[in-house]
Chains A and B, each alone.
Chain A
């Protein structure tokens, strides 16, 4: 309490006299010298996100036949063809398990996200790499990262600090809008900025809560002390968000506050409902990026075990992958493929939405890197070698696009490492066991 006595007096004096300094937040991740700037002259930050869908692909109608530039778009990914200049597709990457089991709909996404193969369901190893990225480039914005899902399920999150600290997703369109563009949103392009003394008071109260609770650590066991520390870290994140709100935000020429959604979609995982929910959430998320509310996100279109349903069809997506026979002429499961095509249409919508936002002489997508992956290759057999992966965007000029990359059996962990390097992180290696790698996909890095 000794520290706070003097500090509180200072704060009380500041509030009473409104002696508040207005400054501009510093970006931790700036464009390199080749990057473009906004009209204001300020550099544009790079954004990073992950987009996921469940149950993989039908390889014979999904994987392009040609490698390199000008690759083809078979029918399951035909909806992405017009976006080819913004995309890279990565095939033939493996997930070596080192004698660990292949846990259905779990091992694949966990290995890609964390670089580690889990030993049991629910035993999430390490942390997902988007959390590492957020720690590096997520500072100075209101939200260090945003996690959202179109499934409507609070369990749909592949973003985690550790097995017991999973980032809860935004599952409601209206609540998502309120969190980002509600009463606390400050228009970065507004000519008027008045620091809110209430925000400062809230911040100092939270700071006091941390200090007031420090004694708790003396009477807790080591595991509980670690949880307490995470609690304090979480409070400080909110303090940071409030601190950002006390400073005049830098202008963001592409920022436009969207109209609020009228209502949430009915709950459920019908493919049309998920599609509409995904569209609304994408529109909010894209403008949250454009308005510098966050720089890191994780968007989940469907769960890894996707029970996505289709009106009038007795089998949902998951059930179809296991129960549907191959079409005798086409040689694959047509119902399962139908669901994958819808997923790819939504991926196309997401990429297109980012490409449609103009900023600094380019687009939001140009200044972003979006990594997309599934949990399986062929879901019918729970195959995890060859899981389809994409990147979209150029990361401010650090990534080439328009390529189909042949992984030739390399570990899939090369993709997260490549992403982190493209974002400027000084990450030497990623993953463990046979997934450990210090190699990046050099063909795509500038």
Chain B
């Protein structure tokens, strides 16, 4: 049975609910009718831009920004409040999540730690552009130089005079209290790092007194949108300067910056961030196994399994710039000594990670890596249902309904102990009409992966019986893992799903029917360009639609008096 019920489900909520209650009863004869391809973006010919929005910085972005601004050795360990995944992505939840006091404490703690490290003796020499006249007294000039240096990068635009004055004042307050200039500077920097100006990334509208209703992102908001998408970080100084000089107002200027950014080493962080979000890798490190069944599966294995996936992605998507579908069929394997017991291979290379070519027919691509196999399994056994559901939801953007609450589970009493394999046991479930609908769309996929146990180790038998991995994926038949992964790679839903996820991620919003023409065009080009993810990222980043916003409702009185658009 379908038993994995995350507390806060996020996908197609209302629709899934209706589907969960009604469709299993109506669709037994045709289980494919149970699938919900999300999101439903029915036809519209004209692209309509979405309204402006604010988003909360993610933990991943926070860490990245701190590293980019202050250096890679300024790290944080504090956890930020979890964001409930929406539309398959955690990033989408950033646009409507609010901070609770307890959540703010996490940011405050992180900010205090970062600020303390920035001013410590090890870092102040190269992070603070001046030395105070006295270490025990305020030095407004030196403090101002520091904040004029880091402030624009943290706020993603130049500081106003008032903002700079506030930071200098705060540094002086702290210096008086601590009798130490650097600790005072740290207190002020802490304030900057918990300010909504830093933590909330808001679309700012370029105001035009002549045409107050013509909505347009200002250049600094364009720069932020671009850098968060490509680098998972804030704009660097070159991008801020381009914004300042008006170069992002022209298509050529944007294209130049996109080319520059895509050649930057920071691009790897951007690629990793998207796939970590889309593949839901945030959950893998919390996966634990029954040590009596899987003694080799440890915390270190879980962390290494996550890194293995990301190394595979970076190699294929960024380094080789190859076909996205290769992620599902690749025979290139990145292994570390920690993963050796899972693969049952000796990893003797003293380097932490080795790249090898798997010549066996046992594994191919991401779906046969332990991160996926172990996360979508139970603590002491595999789970074809969880694996099948995950393939449909993550890679094909299809929602599998939850089981209705009124299922009579008494029909599912312990099956015959003579049934050796999970395929046999699940067939007992499928004899129940209410359960059969959903299980028929998840289990054939999951059963194809039954050659892997709950920790991701390869096996050919279960309880002494040979494992049968044959099945079909939406009409495409397969006999073994090679054919199965090929079937997934060539699924008609695959390019649409990736395009949708990437576009949603880029603008941090669940794009709907009004934006369908843009998605259609991106998907068409993605396929025509050989399924190259990098090219798709470039297409998104250079699209006019990427920077388009609709006119908010504007309070005309405020505009007339102040030139500022007050939105409702």
Which residues of A are found within 8 Å of B196, using beta-carbon distances? 213, 216, 228, 231-232
B281 to chain A, nearest CB (A): 15
Interface of A is mostly: mixed
- Cβ contact within 8 Å between A120 and B13: yes
Smallest CB gap from A318: residue in B: B3
- Cβ contact within 8 Å between A161 and B3: no
Please report the number of residue pairs spanning A and B whose Cβ atoms sit closer than 8 angstroms.
273
Within 8 A of A (CB), among B47-105: 51-54, 56, 79-82, 84, 96-105
Contact residue among A168, A205, A218, A326 (Cβ-Cβ distance under 8 Å from B174): A205
Q: Does B322 contact A (CB under 8 A)?
A: no
- Cβ contact within 8 Å between A267 and B409: no
- Cβ contact within 8 Å between A105 and B7: yes
The distance in angstroms between the C-alpha atoms of A237 and B100, with both chains bound, is 10
Q: Does B200 contact A (CB under 8 A)?
A: yes
Smallest CB gap from A158: residue in B: B7
Which residues of A are found within 8 Å of B252, using beta-carbon distances? none
The distance in angstroms between the C-alpha atoms of A238 and B191, with both chains bound, is 12
Given A121-B17, A122-B8, A309-B290, check contact A168 B100 (CB 8 Å): yes
- Cβ contact within 8 Å between A230 and B98: yes
Number of interface residues of B (CB under 8 A): 94
- Cβ contact within 8 Å between B293 and A312: yes
A40 to chain B, nearest CB (A): 29
- Cβ contact within 8 Å between B200 and A227: yes
Within 8 A of A (CB), among B135-178: 162-163, 166, 169-170, 172-174, 176-178
- Cβ contact within 8 Å between B173 and A201: yes
Within 8 A of A (CB), among B10-65: 10, 13-14, 16-17, 21, 51-54, 56
- Cβ contact within 8 Å between B567 and A12: no
- Cβ contact within 8 Å between B378 and A314: yes
Smallest CB gap from B56: residue in A: A227
A345 to chain B, nearest CB (A): 21
Q: Does A84 contact B (CB under 8 A)?
A: no
Given A16-B176, A103-B405, A221-B552, check contact A205 B104 (CB 8 Å): no
- Cβ contact within 8 Å between A230 and B8: no
The distance in angstroms between the C-alpha atoms of A315 and B288, with both chains bound, is 14
- Cβ contact within 8 Å between B100 and A234: yes
Which residues of B are found within 8 Å of A311, using beta-carbon distances? 290-292
Contact flags (1/0) for A267-283 with B, using CB distance below 8 Å? 11110010000000000
- Cβ contact within 8 Å between B292 and A235: no
- Cβ contact within 8 Å between A208 and B170: yes
- Cβ contact within 8 Å between B413 and A325: yes
7 nearest interchain CB pairs?
Answer: A268-B288, A325-B413, A234-B104, A201-B177, A237-B101, A382-B405, A168-B81
With A167-B100, A267-B286 already in contact, 11 other A-B pairs whose C-beta atoms are closer than 8 Å: A161-B98, A166-B84, A202-B174, A208-B170, A221-B567, A224-B200, A235-B194, A270-B290, A309-B288, A315-B378, A322-B1
Residues of A near any B CB (own CB < 8 A):
1, 8, 11-12, 15-16, 101-106, 119-123, 144-145, 147, 152-156, 160-162, 164-168, 171, 175, 179, 197-198, 200-202, 204-206, 208-209, 212-213, 216, 218-224, 226-228, 230-235, 237-238, 266-270, 273, 303-305, 307, 309-316, 318-319, 321-326, 380-382
